[in-house]
A and B are shown apart, each in its own frame.
Chain A
Amino acid sequence: MNGILDSQKFENLHFDEVYTSLNDPKDHYKTIVERFNQLSISDFQRINNDVKTAFFNQGITFAVYSEDNKANERIFPFDLFPRIIPNDEWMKLEKGVIQRNKAINLFLHDIYHKKFILKDKVVPADLIFSSKNYLKEMVDFTPEGGIYTHISGTDLIKHTDGEYYILEDNLRCPSGVSYVLSNRMALKKSLFELFNKLKVKTVYQYPEHLLEILKTVKPANTDTPNVVVVTPGMYNSAYFEHSFLAQKMGVSLVEGRDLYVEKDFVFMKTIRGPQRVDVIYRRVDDEFIDPLCFRKDSMLGVPGLMNAYRAGNVTLANAPGTGVADDKAVYNYVPDIIKYYLGEEPILNNVRTYRCEREDDMKYVLENIDKLVVKPVDESGGYGITIGTTLTRGQIEEVKVRIKDTPRKYIAQPIMSLSVHPTFIEETSEFEPRHIDLRTFSLMGKNTEYILKGGLTRVALKRGNLIVNSSQGGGSKDTWVLD
């Protein structure tokens, strides 16, 4: 019998996660390739369908609106072939991510206080002050424990040289961790015997660690903090995750309209009257959290929240104003930021980044657009990205005009080659190589930190596509860190 993976060939244009140049599976993939090859395509399809049904019933879906305004729900595509990271590779990665987050946290404290790094001209001051994510409300204020980025998501890719590169930092409300846990649950149910053969590090303690971390930054005036998760509401695309985390932590999931501020304390409206709130894991963007400070039309926020925060009566995680550090233009300076605060060489590589507001860089970018990825600095979700090799001549001209109009808005990077991983493609009922990246999730509290072993492997399901975001047709894989 032919195995379902027999047709897989080593991918020589990109880094192949699974196969060697001799078409053999790499050591850490041998067990799983062997197991998959014992399945027939129909076995595999059956398992695949069961998993999809389970995701559907769990409500791990997003809504797509059709012409008659009827919401159709789709699941986020999930691929059953897990991505495996050997322990030594993971350890280096973990160290690198922790190092990076520590430095960024120090950087945030500095730019909102004495601004040494700007005075020393390691990072240009205008880059920081011109950012719309730099919040004057945070100046000279120190969040509890000095922690700004309680939760961060770091996006990494593996290039043809087999090295990890940081693609971007997500320091505001990084999402995706609920998929990591749901993916693992799905895989455990469907391919349980593999877990007997391979020692896979668990991911289930994430919510417990998150709750612990949030409690370490409680306001000083309480011993038994009431921790809540704040969501924009159930029509938000990440609502599943918000409710998932609240439920797993055993805390209340609240909306802005459930809260109010009185005498600089935050209360939630319960059936027994007001109850004080001490720590808020907020999944609402900065500009919407307090209509008195930021967007006045915000229906999602709580009037007076920033005053309560600045009075030290409530902790917000993440702190407002962290977005200034995950701006794609600041990304370029992170290696310098690491050296400046920690006196260490960066463990993980940055991708070379051209900032269009610099004259030399802009010149290079305009001349080489066909070889570069151009990204707006302040967008997320893969929006507004252009990839040089896929552009027509007309489109190249359009991009040039946009860059010249607002150079501060764009950065460019060489087209990095994302590694490939066999992925089951439903249309062809076969495994095909697809590009993947990795988002890690790390937590930082007062004198404590935690990093989720593995993370979310996102996969671009369209052949040749390099954009893995779910909003752009991406799926995900379970990620195994082996002991």
Chain B
Amino acid sequence: MLSRVANNLYWMGRNIERADHLARYSKANYFSSLDAPILKTYDRKFVLESMLYMAGIFDMEDINERDVLFKIGLDAQNPNSIISNVTSARENARGARNAISTDLWEAINKYYHLVINYPPEIYLTTGLFDFSQMISDQTSIVGSKIYATLLHDEEWAMILIGMYIERGLQIIRIINSKLNDIYKIEIAGNTETEMSFEWSNLLRCVESFDMNRKYYRSIPNREQVLEFLMLNAACPRSIAYALNGVRRYEEKISRNENQDGNTTSFKIRKLAEQYKYLSYDEFKDDIYKLLNSTQNKLMEIGSEFEKKYLSF
């Protein structure tokens, strides 16, 4: 496989995954805010700020709903927007066109056209839910084409490693972002019920609400949600699951050739194992510390991987 093509595939995976998280986060937060029980602190600006934080946009001076929604969703000038990610995914797929199946290419191309032709006025007035749902549906279609129409070889692993690295980073970012929101609500002195609303909201942001309910069979609380989203390797939206994914597909590419302690393979294995044997009590006092160190390690693994395989 050409390094340039590997680069395209890897970033295609990352872009697809990122667009999905961005859309879901905006949707979940925005819609849950509409009838939130904690209206005092939970004004619209609060939600919009949270959405901007998640989208990595820190340079907006006048925060108003239309501009924020546009900037996150359909602003092609903003490299972190959904439209920019979908466009990059498609450009990367085009660059690797002959390495992927016709089915997958057409699915991505269709997805791209749906996004770029989505009327901004509708998106900004009545279409936010529909738009986000479309992103989620299209991501599923693309995902199933990746799974079912490609040979499960190195090229396939290249897409998936990109997706799982991105998933890990996005989940960390989402948890961080919501912890930040929850902290603000906490210091404003809200009740347990109001807090559980926020924990449910975090689960919705990573599409894990139903899974969590099924697993714990109780109203979500801090411990359950964090344990679930960080450590539960059976939940496809957890950090542990994403790390296992990165490890699995990295091994497919590195073929376990070098077991040296300095290799990327070693680092990813070590990180995944750390999550395997971790309990909530061990990190509950400083969640940020664990999240930040995981984020840093994952980013380091990503850049080492890129340097080793994707530079040309």
Whether a CB of chain B sits under 8 angstroms from the CB of A254 is: yes
Closest to A228 in B: B2
Decide yes or no whether B194 CB sits under 8 A from chain A: no
Contact with B along A168-184 (1 / 0, CB 8 A): 00000000000000000
Chain B 257-294 interface 0/1 with A at a Cβ cutoff of 8 Å (1 = within): 00000000000000000000000000000000000000
Q: Is A234 an interface residue (CB 8 A)?
A: yes
Q: Is the CB of B248 closer than 8 A to any CB of chain A? A: no
* B98 pairs with A252, CB closer than 8 A: yes
Q: How far is the CA of A405 from the CA of B279 in the complex (A)?
A: 85
With A59-B94, A234-B94, A247-B98 already in contact, the answer to whether A268 and B2 are too (CB < 8 A) is: yes
A204 to B207: give the CA distance in the assembly, Å: 45
Could you tell me if B109 and A271 are in contact, using CB atoms closer than 8 angstroms?
A: no
Kindly list chain B residues whose C-beta atoms are within 8 Å of the C-beta of A254.
2, 4
Chain B residues 1 to 38 lying within 8 A of chain A, measured CB to CB, are 1-6
| Contact assessment for B97 and A243 in the assembled complex, using a CB-CB cutoff below 8 Å | yes
B4 touches A258 (CB 8 A): yes
**Which residues 134-173 of B have a CB within 8 angstroms of A?**
154
In the assembly, what is the distance between CA of A270 and CA of B309, in Å? Answer: 8
Q: How many residues of A contact B (CB 8 A)?
A: 25
Could you tell me the distance between the alpha carbons of A269 and B102 in the complex, rounded to whole angstroms?
25
Residues on the B chain within 8 Å of A45, using CB: none
- In the complex, whether B75 has a CB less than 8 A from a CB of chain A is no
Q: How far is the CA of A70 from the CA of B91 in the complex (A)?
A: 15
Instruction: Return chain A residues, CB-CB under 8 Å to B95.
Output: 234
Chain B residues with CB below 8 A from A255, complex form: 4
The smallest C-beta distance from A92 to any residue of chain B, in angstroms, reads 36
Q: Which chain A residues lie closer than 8 Å to B102 at the CB level? A: 58, 247
Q: Which residues of B contact A271 (CB under 8 A)?
A: 1-3, 6, 154, 253, 309-310
- Give the docked Cα–Cα distance between A271 and B311 (Å): 9
Roughly how many angstroms separate A58 CA and B107 CA in the complex, as a whole number?
A: 9
Interface presence of A210 (CB below 8 A):
no
Q: Are A270 and B2 in contact (CB under 8 A)?
A: yes
Verify if A239 is at the interface (C-beta below 8 Å from B): yes
Across the interface, do A269 and B98 meet the contact criterion of CB distance under 8 Å? no
Q: How far is the CA of A258 from the CA of B95 in the complex (A)?
A: 12
User: Does chain A have a CB within 8 A of B43?
Assistant: no
The yes or no answer to B106 lying at the interface (CB within 8 A) is yes
Q: Which residue of A lies closest to B91 (CB)?
A: A234
Residue of B nearest to A58 (CB): B106
Contact indicator A269/B2 (Cβ below 8 Å): yes
Whole-angstrom distance between the alpha carbons of A175 and B205 in the complex? 48
Mark contacts of A222-235 with chain B using CB atoms, 8 A cut-off: 1 yes-contact digit, 0 otherwise.
00000001000010
Chain A residue at smallest Cβ distance from B7: A271
**Least CB distance, A62 to chain B, in whole angstroms:** 13
Q: Which chain B positions have C-beta within 8 A of A247?
A: 97-98, 102
A253 at the interface (CB under 8 A from B): yes
Minimum distance in angstroms from A195 CB to a CB of chain B: 21
Given A243-B98, A246-B98, A253-B97, A57 and B1 contact (CB-CB distance below 8 Å) = no
Closest to A59 in B: B109
Is A56's beta carbon under 8 Å from chain B?
Answer: yes
Q: A57-B110, A243-B98, A246-B98 are in contact. Are A270 and B91 (CB under 8 A)?
A: no
> Is A257 close to B, CB under 8 A?
yes
Whether B113 is near chain A, meaning CB under 8 Å from some CB there, is yes
Q: Is the CB of B106 within 8 A of A252?
A: no
**A243 to B97 CA separation, bound complex (whole angstroms):** 6
Residues of chain A lying within 8 A (CB to CB) of residue B6: 271
> A253 vs B113: C-alpha distance in the bound complex, in angstroms?
24
Min distance, Cβ A64 to any Cβ of chain B, angstroms? 14
Which chain A residue lies CB-closest to B93?
A: A59
Report chain A residues within 8 Å CB of B1: 270-272
In the complex, are the beta carbons of B106 and A258 less than 8 A apart? Answer: no
Residue numbers in A under 8 Å from B4 (CB-CB): 254-255, 257-258, 269
| Contact between chains at B97 and A252 (CB < 8 Å) | no
Give every chain B residue within 8 A of A239 (Cβ-Cβ): 94
Tell me the bound Cα distance from A229 to B99 in angstroms.
13
Interface positions of B from 27 to 63, Cβ below 8 Å from A:
none
Chain A 66-94 per-residue mask, 1 if CB under 8 angstroms from chain B, else 0 = 00001001000000000000000000000
For chain A, residues 238 to 285, give those with C-beta under 8 angstroms from any C-beta of chain B: 239, 243-244, 246-247, 251-255, 257-258, 268-272
Which residues of B are found within 8 Å of A244, using beta-carbon distances? 98
Give the distance in Å from the alpha carbon of A400 to the alpha carbon of B232 in the complex.
Answer: 80
Bound together, the chains give a CA A271 to CA B113 distance in angstroms of: 31
Q: How far is the CB of A2 from chain B (nearest CB, A)?
A: 37
| Chain B, range 223-258, C-beta contacts under 8 Å to A | 253
Cα–Cα, bound, A243→B109 (Å): 15
Question: What are the nearest 9 A-B pairs in CB distance?
Answer: A243-B97, A247-B98, A246-B98, A253-B98, A271-B309, A269-B312, A243-B98, A59-B109, A269-B3
* 23 interchain pairs, CB-CB under 8 A: A57-B109, A57-B113, A58-B105, A58-B109, A59-B94, A59-B105, A59-B106, A243-B97, A243-B98, A247-B97, A247-B98, A247-B102, A253-B97, A257-B4, A257-B312, A268-B2, A269-B2, A269-B3, A270-B1, A270-B2, A271-B2, A271-B6, A271-B310
